[in-house]
Structure 1
Amino acid sequence: MAYEAWVKIKSRYCDRAGCKVSLEAHMVFPASWMPETPPRRVGLRCNHGMICNEKEQTACRWSGTNPAYDPFLE
């Protein structure tokens, strides 16, 4: 049976949050009888996203409020 999990991608300092945040991906891993199937990423989030959403300023794509702005692009 397939299973789902939030997997930490990386940690970064966020200027808008003012602290170190963890960027996470929602992954769906294949069932054991289909090991050749790669895992799929179905979502992204920041562990500080809920706090950023409570502020007056729009946040970023990682918090789900502003898909046009990604402060962590390298």
Structure 2
Amino acid sequence: MVGHITDLADRDVFTMVSTPAVLESVMLDEGGLLTGERVPRVIDDTTRWENSSSATGPTTSPAARARGSLLSREAPCPY
């Protein structure tokens, strides 16, 4: 348990949300997972959306890369 989502920065994180827009919100909105001083090294989004051309949302994936996080769909797990 953590007090705030950004407290997960020192952990690998698994997410599962309802839509690409929700994932983008969880990651990028104020106080989101990718907005803290530090960010998780690995983010594994296990959500499966039907009829979606982007499994991680339109801006989430580049934002994660820019902050030094790997979305599990982009690269093999580093372990």
TM-score by length of 2: 0.28
Q: Greater relative contact order: 1 or 2 (C-alpha under 8 angstroms, separation 6 or more)?
A: 2
Flag the structure with larger Rg: 1
- Higher share of residues assigned strand: 1
